[in-house]
Amino acid sequence: MFGRFFKSPASPEKVNDAVNYFFAFSLKLLKTHHPFNLSESEKYDFRHEYILTEGIDNYGVGFFSRIELESTNFTNHHFSLNASHQIQNCCKPTLDKNNPMVEEVVSYLKNII
């Protein structure tokens, strides 16, 4: 409880890495069959490959697991509304940081990481 009050805000680089990972994970989920969920080994493989190919810091399992959980919920929610195309639209060809959906995710992730 006190960690939430005394926690220093995440650096802009860490938030940026979190947002990019969130949407990369969401796109990965959309390539699987519904219900969108990956096994722990698939998550580990994706996480490990993403860290290596994108050259980001390894912030630890807790950081990535939390983002994977939120991204999975986000993806399933948009799928249930028949709006998963909105996720794809804001990510192609690159992540559009001015898209309201992305701005909402940025704001949310700032509070949880």
Per-residue model confidence (pLDDT) at position 4? 55
Backbone angles phi, psi at 82, to 5 degrees: 60, 40
Are the C-beta atoms of 97 and 54 separated by less than 8 Å? no
Are the C-beta atoms of 4 and 72 separated by less than 8 Å? no
Q: What pTM was computed for the model?
A: 0.89
Query: Digits of tens for pLDDT over the chain (113 positions)?
Result: 555 556 678 899 999 999 999 999 999 999 887 677 889 999 999 999 999 999 999 999 999 999 999 999 999 999 989 998 999 999 888 999 999 999 999 999 999 98
Per-residue model confidence (pLDDT) at position 23? 97
